[in-house]
Structures are given as C-alpha cells and as structure tokens.
C-alpha cells in the first residue's frame, strides 16, 4: 500500500489563529508587545527556532527558547480549540485511507499535533504515523521527518503533501514527489518557483489527482 505524508498546519487544518494567539500570549508573558496576526501567519511553516529569531531578533537564545516553550504550553492548554479542519479534509482523508497509508509530518511537537487534531475534531486514528519536529534532529525544510517516516513504515514515501516551500524543499531532499496546496501562506506563484509535482487548490482535489496519475501510469 502506498504512503502519503501530509503536513498539518494549513494543509489539513486551519491553525493560524491557534498558533498566533499562542505566540502572542507567550510574547505578552515575556514582556514583549504582541504581533499582528497576519504577520505571524506569514511566518508559519518555518522551524520554531527560526520563527523565534524573527519575532525576537535582539533577544538571547534563552529568551527565545522560553518563547517556544510558552507558545507550546498555551497551544496545548488553551488555543488548540481554535483549530478547524480544511474544508472537506476529513472526508478526503477517509477516502484516501482506503487505499493509502497516511502520515503526518509537522514542525509542531508530537503533543501539539495531537492537540490540534483534537481541536479540529480529526480522528488521530486516520493516520498510520504521526511525527513531530521533536522526534527528529532537524525539522522541515530538512528531510529528517520524511526519512524517519520511511524507516518506521519500511516503505518509500510516494508523496509529500504540504502548503509551503519548506515541504517542497524537504520532499526534494528526500527524493519524494511533492504535491502543494494553496491553503497556506505561499501562493501558487511562489510554490511554482520550487517546482512541485503539482499544485492543487486544497486537499479535496487530491483523490482525483492521484486517480488520474494512476491511470496515466498504467
């Protein structure tokens, strides 16, 4: 059975509010001014450490680490409830589950992923594997999450599906075809520069695309 790896934020769920409110609560707790939610959303998809450097460029590494810790705390305890599924995501995942192994590979921690799935009311059992950035040495755009998924599943990943250029970069490094969706911060034009296999409006178009690919290859 083929393996499809999915990013989480803005690929399967809309989580900008959950993430932004958690970051702003953390910034406020540390004595910094909150950031504009659209500004924050434009930075999502990057490694957490990179986001912390952007938000607090003059702060010490210790303060940035504390920011990430507080963000995770607020997300897990409070703001996860703002997560909602991408339109038709649950139905699409159930359809794909019939013919594919499904994995989540995210730059969230494993615990954060489970909380966001709970907030979005997506059953974690739809997935054969869930890997967070805290379970690998490097998060996307490094290929570590994909390579770990392949090792654990004993199967080469057939596709990586995500909403950012970081998913594309990780997929290319792992030599896995990437299907991009335009439900995140990067528009079709920006995604196209990195040459994914395809760019879809959202994941609801994925079953038909995969069916067409199968017919084409037969």
Which region holds residue 161: left if phi is over 0, alpha if psi is between -120 and 50, else beta?
beta
Contact 153/101 with Cβ under 8 angstroms? yes
Question: Looking at residues 141-149, what average pLDDT do you find?
Answer: 97
Predicted confidence band of residue 209 (pLDDT cuts 50, 70, 90): very high
CATH, residue 109:
3.40.50.1000
Average pLDDT over residues 99-109: 96
85-89 mean pLDDT: 95
- Same domain? For 118 and 212 the reply is yes
Would you state the torsion angle of the CA atoms of residues 134, 36, 17, 51, taken in this order, to the nearest 10 degrees?
Answer: -10
Domain that holds residue 150: 2-14+83-217
Task: Give yes or no: residues 209 and 125 share one domain.
Answer: yes
What's the number of domains the chain is made of? Answer: 2
pLDDT for the residue 213? 83
Does one domain contain both 131 and 197?
yes
Residue 25 sits at φ, ψ, to 5 deg, of -65, -40
Q: In this model, does residue 147 exceed pLDDT 80?
A: yes
pLDDT at 46: 86
Percentage of the chain lying above the pLDDT 90 cut = 93
Residue given tokens 């957490």 in the structure block:
48
Average pLDDT of every residue of the chain: 95
Candidates 216, 214, 205; CA nearest to 88 is 205
The rounded distance, in Å, linking the Cα atoms of 159 and 142 is 16
Q: What is the pLDDT of residue 81?
A: 97
Contact call for residues 102 and 4 (beta carbons, < 8 A): yes
Please tell me whether residues 171 and 71 are part of one structural domain.
Answer: no
Residue 25 pLDDT level (bands cut at 50, 70, 90): very high
Q: Is the pLDDT score of 216 beyond 80?
A: no
For residues 130 and 122, the answer to whether their CB atoms sit within 8 Å is no
Question: What is the mean pLDDT of the segment spanning 42-52?
Answer: 90
pTM confidence score: 0.92
pLDDT at residue number 201: 97
Q: What is the pLDDT of residue 161?
A: 98
- State the pLDDT at residue 1: 83
pLDDT at 71 over 90: yes
Whether 131 and 50 share a structural domain: no
């Amino acid at each position: 059975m083929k393996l499809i790896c999915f990013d989480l934020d803005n690929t399967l769920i809309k989580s900008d509010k959950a993430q932004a409110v958690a970051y702003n609560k953390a910034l406020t707790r540390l004595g910094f001014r909150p950031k504009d939610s659209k500004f924050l959303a434009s930075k999502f998809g990057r490694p957490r450490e990179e986001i912390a450097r952007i938000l607090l460029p003059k702060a010490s590494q210790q303060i940035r680490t504390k920011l990430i810790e507080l963000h995770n705390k607020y997300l897990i305890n409070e703001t996860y409830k703002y997560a909602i599924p991408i339109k038709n995501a649950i139905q699409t995942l159930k359809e794909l589950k019939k013919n594919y192994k499904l994995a989540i590979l995210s730059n969230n921690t494993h615990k954060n992923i489970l909380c966001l799935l709970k907030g979005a009311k997506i059953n974690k059992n739809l997935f054969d594997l869930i890997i967070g950035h805290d379970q690998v040495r490097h998060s996307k755009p490094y290929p570590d999450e994909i390579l770990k998924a392949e090792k654990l599943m004993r199967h080469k990943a057939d596709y990586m599906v995500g909403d950012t250029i970081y998913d594309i970069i990780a997929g290319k490094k792992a030599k896995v075809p990437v299907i991009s969706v335009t439900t995140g911060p990067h528009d079709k034009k920006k995604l196209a520069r990195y040459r994914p296999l395809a760019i879809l409006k959202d994941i609801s178009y994925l079953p038909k695309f995969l069916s067409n690919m199968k017919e084409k290859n037969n």
